[in-house]
Amino acid sequence: MNPDHYKRTRPLWHPALVPSWLLGGVLYLLAQLPMASKQRWGAGIGRLLNRRLKSRARVAQTNIKVCMPELDAQARDELVESCFIACARGFLESTHAWWRDMTPYLDTTEIFGLEHLEEAKARGNGVLLIGGHYSILDFALPLIASKLDKPGYMYRPNNNPVIDHIIEKGRRRHFNIQPFTKREMPAMMTFLKNGGQVWYACDQDFGKKNKIYTPFFGVEAGCITMPSHLARESGASVICVSHLRTPQGRYQVVFSPIQEGFGEDDQQDAAVWNGFIETTIRQYPDQYLWLHKRFKSRPEGAEKVY
């Protein structure tokens, strides 16, 4: 069901949504755990999900096999389990960002390439931050937004109105960050033209919306051209951004140099942001969302991956 239709027909206080509010209460309680406990719980939950979610584990196995053929079966198994653990930890970290104080993490996060971001902001035409689906998820939003003057983000509403309300309220309490859905592209374009900075993760397979294919770990991956369109029409500077959990339990955010000429060639643009994401993944391969069918769409005549 379309999320907007769901919201119109099921107000937040509807009795049918009581279980969703109870789930929200559980999430709130999880958020109160110390971060060290979140990391331990995430490891246990991740291992459990790896055993239980067979179909998702197979997707991750397939993605890793085609992207990293140099890994043997044991190494792939270990990476799949590590991916589940990273994602589970990321979900618990997200609850922390929705309800808890993020100040200690803002103070200790390692920031690389801040000079590129400052240069982009100084140009005055807005900044489009192209990211990827790394495991720390919503925890990364305030880490990035803290370095922006006028932060915004692109998102897909959750189908459940209660869960959507909880998540979006948690996101928006940081730095007056502005949300935009796919139905609000004109507003996002205006926001960029007025000097806004928008984080946009466009690294998933959008099915029929894919316009081009470009190599990702040497495999043709379907890509949308919306980032190129936004840059071209708004005049915004484009920077790639990554957000990761380090092995030491800290966090890091990396801003790339400004991608000059972005918007002139859709194919080249897609190669740029896919290349940045690939380089990031090779640094910490467990922290990418391998559970998603990145190669669901295939070029004409190409064999199916899944």
* 233 close to 266: Cβ distance less than 8 angstroms: no
Confidence of residue 3 (pLDDT cuts 50, 70, 90): very low
- The confidence score (pLDDT) of residue 11 equals 86
- The confidence score (pLDDT) of residue 223 equals 97
- CA-CA distances (angstroms) from residue 285 to 41, 63, 79, 278, 290? 21, 12, 8, 9, 9
Three-class DSSP category at 80: helix
d(CA 305, CA 297): 9
- The confidence score (pLDDT) of residue 4 equals 46
pLDDT digits over 229-284, tens only? 999 999 999 999 999 999 888 999 999 999 999 999 999 999 999 999 999 999 99
213 Cα distance to chain centroid = 20
pLDDT digits over 245-255, tens only? 998 889 999 99
- CA-CA distances (angstroms) from residue 206 to 16, 189, 209, 297? 31, 21, 5, 8
Identify the residue whose tokens are 């998702």. Answer: 56
d(CA 162, CA 156): 14
Closest Cα to residue 57, out of 41, 67, 46, 68?
46
- Bridge partners of 199, per DSSP, are 129, 153
Confidence of residue 9 (pLDDT cuts 50, 70, 90): low
